[in-house]
Structure 1
Amino acid sequence: MKIKFILVALAGMLMVYSGAEAQSNTKSKRVLVAYFSHSGNTRVIAQYIQEISGGDLFEIVPVKQYPTDYNSVVDQAKKEINAGYKPALKSKLASIDRYDVIFIGSPNWWSTIAPPVSTFLSSFNFSGKTIIPFITHEGSRMGRSVIDIKKLCPQSTVLEGYACRGSNVKDAHDEVANWLQKINMVKK
């Protein structure tokens, strides 16, 4: 029993070390900032992250656009999330292999990531990658987004990420810069 506990403790220490290692060697890491934005808020945060981190920017775009009417998009999102629906994507990334760190952005829809983001995360093998979520919201912060991303990418290191109220995105540049500095993801 003691040996098993020690091995589990060592495995936990290795996992923590791997996460710290992924964060500390950003000079040699290739960074992708992938995002889905319905209203434009998540796009603004993605652009801040791209500018400060120096990563490549990729917009996740579904084949069929969501309605612009608030109530209609809320109803559609609820149905899709409850059904586990993953919409087809118009924009396709050729490969995830060249990236080590992937920032993944989404609005918080029904306390989780939007269905197009689920499609994107299901489209690649993220094993060994570091995933850093960023979420825009109007009061629900990260919701269960991190938990759901970990389910879709079980062999990845998923960091806690960043949440920004949608009504504050235009003034969030310094806050994003401070967050990226804290997690050591500022381009050198």
Structure 2
Amino acid sequence: MKEWSVLLLSLTAAAFVLFAGAGTASAADGGKILIAYFSRADENYQVGYVEKGNTQVLAEAVAEATGGELFRIETERPYPKEYRETTEVAKREQNEGARPKLKSTPPDIGFYDVIFLGYPNWWGDMPMAVYTFLESYGSGAFAGKRIIPFCTAAGSGLSGTVGTIGKLCPGATVNNAFTMLGAEAQEFSDGTRAKVREWLVGTGLVK
């Protein structure tokens, strides 16, 4: 029995390494990593009511594979649980150029070299809370840093968000952006896992 227990533990560890890669990013090779993301649970398009938002599922996969630290961008005032009502609030915020207050203070960005930035595509743009997050840092705070956007959507992909991030974060290198259908991210099948791993290997941060 003892031998079987040891074998089971070994196989479990091997399965983790298969996804995370032989090595993950560190200060020596990829720099300190932050995974900042906005995600909404409750009713989502095509997936119904979920406990974890589509973008959160991807963010946690990125953290597992890279060893990066997670920061969830949350608003003080929660969005409605119903999908259609949330889209109406999101559209109104976008039209008004709103900057919703965040529930938690963003971390000291100076500590990180690489920032994965995750968000759903709301009306062809990032949720306004992501603007609040980025603008909470002073001008030039992202200079010299690398930002890797990832986005979940129903079909409109990244839209113009990569360019927007570049404008909001002057001096940063914005590259290796990734997008996935929200329903595919929520399912997180073997095929989804393979796509995420291929993307992360392409960033050079996972081997």
- Alignment correspondent of 1:3: none
Correspondent of 1:120 among 124, 130, 133: 133
Equivalent runs, 1:4-15 vs 2, <5 Å: none
Question: What do the CA deviations read for 1:16-68 (whole angstroms, capped 9, x no partner)?
Answer: xxxxxxx9x87250000000101310000001111111111111111001111
The 3-state SS of whatever aligns with 1:79 is helix
What's the offset of the Cα at 1:72? 1.1
Once the two structures are superposed, the pairs formed by residues 174-185 of structure 1 within 5 Å of their partners are 174-185=194-205
Corresponding residue number in structure 2 for 1:82:
95
CA distance in 2 between partners of 1:26 and 1:182 (Å):
18
Give the counterpart of 2:166 among 128, 150, 162.
Answer: 150
Q: Larger % of helix: which? A: 1
Q: Cα gap change, 1:135/1:26 in structure 2, threshold over 3 Å: closer, same or farther?
A: farther
Once residues 167 and 94 of structure 1 are traced to their aligned partners in structure 2, the CA distance between those partners, rounded to angstroms, is 30
Moved more, 90-99 or 161-170: 90-99
In the alignment, structure 1 residue 57 sits paired with structure 2 residue 77: no
What is the rounded CA distance, in whole Å, between the counterparts of 1:134 and 1:26 in structure 2? 24
Scaled by the length of structure 2, what TM-score is found? 0.75
Shift of residue 160, structure 1, vs aligned partner: 4.3
Counterpart contact for 2:106–2:133, Cα < 8 Å: no
Partner of 2:153: 137
Q: Gaps (5+ residues) in structure 2?
A: 1-24, 42-52
Does 2:56 match 1:36? no
Q: CA deviation at 1:83?
A: 1.6
- State the percentage of identical aligned residues: 41
Q: Following TM superposition, where does structure 1 have runs of at least 4 consecutive aligned residues deviating by more than 4 angstroms?
A: none
Query: 1:26, 1:184 within 8 Å by CA — same for their partners in 2?
Result: no
Matched, 1:94 2:107: yes
1:94 Cα shift? 3.4
Aligned equivalent of 1:173, options 193, 202, 207: 193
- CA shift at 1:93, angstroms? 2.5
Which letter maps to 1:62? Answer: T
CA distance in 1, matches of 2:144, 2:90: 30
Distance 1:129 1:62, change over 3 A: same
- In structure 2, the residue matched to 1:12 is none
Which residue of 38, 46, 64 corresponds with 2:59?
46
Query: What residue identity is the alignment partner of 2:105?
Result: K
| Structure with greater Cα Rg | 2
Cα distance change on mapping 1:142 and 1:28 into 2, 3 Å: closer
Instruction: Identify which range, 119-128 or 98-107, moves more after superposition.
Output: 119-128
Q: Is the 8 A contact 2:30 2:205 kept in 1?
A: no
